[in-house]
Structures are given as C-alpha cells and as structure tokens.
Structure 1
Amino acid sequence: MDKKAMYQLTYGLFVLTAKDGDKDNGCIINTAGQVTTSPNRITIAVNKQNYTHDMIKKTGEFNVSILDETAPFSTFERFGFQCGRDTDKIAGCPVLRAENGIVYLKENASAFISGKVVQEMDLGSHTLFLADVTDGEVLSGVNPVTYAYYQSNIKPKPEKTEKKGYRCKICGYIYEGEPLPDDFICPICKHGAVDFEKI
C-alpha cells in the first residue's frame, strides 16, 4: 500500500479547547467535521495522550476554533508541541469565552463551534466524540487552514542537517537510528511513523 495516498484526504487544522474546574486547555487536532444537520452534530477525533482528551471525557464539552490562513506557526507550537498538564497554554493567548464557559481563539480563527458530547467511540490511540452543536460564530472572512496549506505556507522548512535517521514531517523532530520502528510515536506532536521521512 502507498501510505502517501492518505495525504490526499483533505483536512483542516483546529484548536480544540476544554475546561475542567478552573483549568483551561487546548490542543491541535486535524479531524473535526459535521456529520448531520438535523440534529446538528459534529465529530472530533482526539489523541488519548492529550490532556484535552481527558478533560472532554470528564466534562463532555468543548470548543473547536477553526484556524484560518493568518495563523502563525507559534499557534501550532503553543497548542501542539507542549503538554497542558505541565504548561498553561492559554496564558498570554488572545481568547474569548463562549456561553459554555470554554475559551476559543479570538484571533487567527475563521469560526468557532461549541459541542456537547452525546456519544464516544474508542479508536485505539484516539477517541471519537460525537457531539451536538450548541453554539458557533463566524469570526473572520479568511479561508480556513488546510493541512496542505499548513505544510506549504506555515510550517518552517527543515534545516539542512548532518544527522542520519528520520524526520517528522509534522514538527521536524529527528529520530536518530536505523530502522525507525513501525510503532514509533513522535514525542513532540504524537504522530506515528507514517509521518516520518528518511534523512
């Protein structure tokens, strides 16, 4: 199988936020989509290693900020390359609070959508949450970021290196050694071996 065929599927990039008590948190996801209009429902797939995942499992509520093409790489670093268990990802980030009490991005987002979980499915490494849409608003007239746009226009190009091994195409992490294990997970962005290229 040519695993690169999977890259032809279209994806957006989103900041998923949740709240548990006084703690706000968020992470980057690339799988969110509307599945029905009546009732108005969406699904999100969230990596179980993300703290935001645990918050949503506990509270059953979340917001999705649909990133737009003005989003700088620092947004992806803030929400995708560090853990909310150890870092306050929201500190210093321009956010607003929706009616559900959860923050969403005030800038660099084309819209936000609030969801209340009605069902979940265990997908192994991820949980798929099915949710009723409870709120939403268009925030800018800027096009939403696609995964392809992120790869071509936002993510910094990898620097030349003398290191041997494999580079994560998502965040640039370098695994030194041969071979790259099939079940390897990037310690920075949590993507699997399929998202690594030989250097």
Structure 2
Amino acid sequence: MDTKAFRTLNYGLYIITAKNDELRAGCVVNTFAQVTSKPAQVSVAINKENVTCGVVQDSGAFEASVLTESATMELIGRFGFRTSTELDKFADTQYAVDELGIPYVTEHAAAHFCAKVVNRIDLGSHILFIGEVVDAEVLSGDAAMTYAYYHKVKGGKTPPKASSYEQPEEATESAEAAAPAAEPAATEGVRYGWKCLACGYVVEMDELPDDYTCPICMVGKEMFKRIEL
C-alpha cells in the first residue's frame, strides 16, 4: 500500500481543548470535521495517549478552535508537542471560556465550536468522539490553515500521536538529523540558525550546545538542522 495516497486528503488544523475537575488540557489535531447538520454534529479522533483524550472522556465535552494561516509555530508547538500534565498550555495563550466552563484558544483562530459528546468509538490507538454542537462562533475573517499549508509553508512536522503520522518517513528524517552534516562555509553577511525538525522552531545561533533542547517540543540537539537565515 502506498501511504502517500493519504496525503492527497484535505484537512484543517485545530486545537481541541477540554476541562475536568482537576485539569485543563489541549492538543492539536487535523481530524476535526462536521458530520451532520440537523442536529449539528462534529467528530474528532484523539490518540488515547494524549492527556486531552482522557479529559474529554471524563468531562463529556470539548472545544475546537480552527487555526488560521497566521498561527505561529510556537502556538502549534505548545499544544501539539507538549503534554498538559507538565505544562499549563493556556498560561501564555489568549483564550476565552465557553458556557460549559471549557477554555478555548482565541489567538490565530478563525472560529470555535463547543460540543457535548453523544457517542464515542474505540479505534484502537485513537478514540473517535461524536459531539453535538451547542455553540459556535466566528472569531476572525482570516483564512483557515490547511494541513498542507502547515507542512509546505510553515515547514511543520507530524507528531507521533497524530492520526496521519507515518513512522518510516519520520524515522528517516530523525536519522538524517542525527548524522553529522557538513557545515556551510562561512560567507560574509550570511546568517545561520538551527531548525527543529519536530516542530519547526528556529533559533539563530552559530552552534548549538550539546545539551540544547527545543523550547517548544523539548527534543534534543540531534533533531535540529542547520539552515541559512
């Protein structure tokens, strides 16, 4: 089977958030979609290993923020490559709270949807939640980001817990990053930096310390590639 065929499918990029008595959590997905109009229902598949998945199950409700093309890699990295049990993802994020008490991201968001879970399907690695929309609002007129835009324009990568993650491609990329690369010859007036192959974060620095970790997704130096700025 040619898994590249899946790349022809069109997706958006969304931040799913939820809250229970103990924790507010959020993660980035590309699997949010409308499934019916009357009643208005949506679906989202979330990896069981994501903290957000457990919080949605506990609370029975979730929010979905539609990210725009202006969304920063810092915002995407915060919700897509960090865990909610180790980081308060909302601390440095603009958000509002819906009528159910769920926080939802408002910065770089085109719209948001509040949904109550009415059904769930165990898909093995993921749980598919079906939710009835109880509130929705347009937040900006900016263009919504597609998954293709995230990869081709933003240079973003797919986290291992994502539904569209492809192990062979990511493993090859990691191996290439780990292999010592020839450093570009010094050129007057040229600036160099390092780009994280996991989340796309870029730091301007001649050399990375051996113990350097990405401030967004926390991967080590071996996952950075030297680039010309």
- TM-score (norm. length: structure 1): 0.81
Determine whether 1:56 maps to 2:53: no
| Alignment-derived partner of residue 158 in structure 2 | 170
Structure 2: how far apart are the matches of 1:86 and 1:190?
25
> In the TM superposition, what are the counterparts of 1:10-49 in structure 2 within 5 Å?
10-49=10-49
Percent identity over the alignment?
A: 39
Q: Does 1:191 align with 2:165?
A: yes
The structure having more radius of gyration, on CA atoms, is 2
C-alpha distance in 2, partners of 1:103/1:97? Answer: 4
Code of the aligned partner of 1:28: V
Alpha-carbon distance between aligned partners in 1 of 2:126 and 2:162, rounded to the nearest angstrom: 17
Would you say how many aligned residue pairs link Structure 1 and Structure 2? 173
2:106 alignment counterpart: 106
Match of 1:191, SS? coil
* 1:152 match: 152
Deviations 1:138-184 (A, max 9, x none): 0010111101000122236xxxxxxxxxxxx426xxxxxxxxxxxxx
Deviations 1:19-45 (A, max 9, x none): 011521100011011110011100010
Q: Distance in 2 between the 1:43 and 1:187 partners?
A: 17
* Range with bigger deviation, 16-25 or 136-145: 16-25
SS of the residue 1:53 aligns to: helix
1:81–1:188 Cα contact (<8 Å) kept: no
The residue type equivalent to 2:76 in the other structure is F
Structure 1 moving runs of 4+ over 6 Å: 187-190
* Structure 1 CA distance for aligned equivalents of residues 131 and 65 of structure 2: 15
When residues 147 and 66 of structure 1 are mapped into structure 2, their CA distance, relative to the original with a 3 A threshold, is same
> 1:67 and 1:5, CA in 2 relative to 1: closer, same or farther beyond 3 A?
same
- How does the TM-score come out when normalised to structure 2? 0.71
Stretches of structure 2 lacking an aligned partner (at least 5 in a row): 177-229
Q: Which residue of 2 aligns with 1:139?
A: 139
Long gaps (5+) in structure 1: 157-168, 172-185
Judged with a 3 Å threshold, the aligned counterparts in structure 2 of structure 1 residues 96 and 133 are, in CA distance, closer, same or farther, namely same
Take 1:80 and 1:2, find their aligned partners in 2: how far apart are those partners?
26
Distance 2:116 2:19 in 1: 13
SS at match of 2:35: strand
The DSSP-based 3-state class of the residue aligned with 2:82 is coil
Q: Which residue of 2 aligns with 1:164?
A: none
Q: Secondary structure at the residue paired with 1:54?
A: helix
Indicate how the Cα distance of structure 1 residues 33 and 195 shifts in structure 2: closer, same or farther if over 3 A, else same.
farther
CA contact (8 A) 1:82 1:188 kept: no
In angstroms, what is the RMSD of aligned CA positions?
2.0
What is the Cα deviation at residue 2 of structure 1?
1.3
The change in CA–CA distance for 1:39 and 1:76 in structure 2 (over 3 A counts) is same
